[in-house]
Amino acid sequence: MIELNTRKEVEVIDVTFYVEKAIEESSIEQGICLIYTLHTTTGIVVNEAEPGLIRDMTSLVASLAPKGAGYLHDRFGGNAHAHLQAMLLGNSAVIPVEGKRLILGTWQKILFVELDGPRKRWVCVKLIEE
Ligand code: ZN
């Protein structure tokens, strides 16, 4: 389990290093790795961690599900936009592991996306041996 303390309302954290560490500390050489967020207002995506692209991504989801657009769930804390944005991004990634390493392309990083911070967050990393 990875514990994250987000510091902003919307924040993207590259968690690739933490996942690699979990694989190193395990006894698994090859198989698959599940990265799964335990929250309903966060996302997990695999993509490039270039700062401009990260801002483009958060702008896109904000435009698709803008804050305060008359959602029914806003009666319970006003965070419906964050739930809907999280649904658009997805809440997990599955990545192959070979020779104790994640199979990632040159620009692929595992990104945790906070959409209703700042909060304490948990990301589950589960390894399954082949
Ligand atoms: Zn809510």
Question: CATH number, domain at 65?
Answer: 2.60.120.460
Residue 127: partners with Cβ closer than 8 Å, 6 or more residues away: 22, 23, 26, 28, 31, 32, 33, 34, 97
Distance 35 CA to ligand 1 centre (A): 22
- 59 C-alpha to ligand 1 centroid (Å): 20
Global confidence as pTM: 0.97
| pLDDT tens-place string over residues 7-65 | 999 999 999 999 999 999 999 999 999 999 999 999 999 999 999 999 999 999 999 99
What's the Rg (C-alpha) of the chain?
Answer: 16
- Dihedral sign computed on CA atoms, order 128, 6, 41, 120: positive
pLDDT of the residue at 2: 97
Say how many Å lie between the CA of residue 119 and the centre of ligand 1. 13
94 Cα: distance to centroid of ligand 1 (angstroms) = 26
- Determine the structural domain holding residue 7 and report its residue range: 2-129
Burial status of residue 120 (CB atoms within 10 A of its CB: 0-12, 13-18, 19 or more): exposed
Our count of domains for the chain comes to 1
User: What is the whole-number distance in angstroms between the Cα of residue 40 and the centre of ligand 1?
Assistant: 8
Q: What's the start-to-end Cα distance of the chain, in Å? A: 21
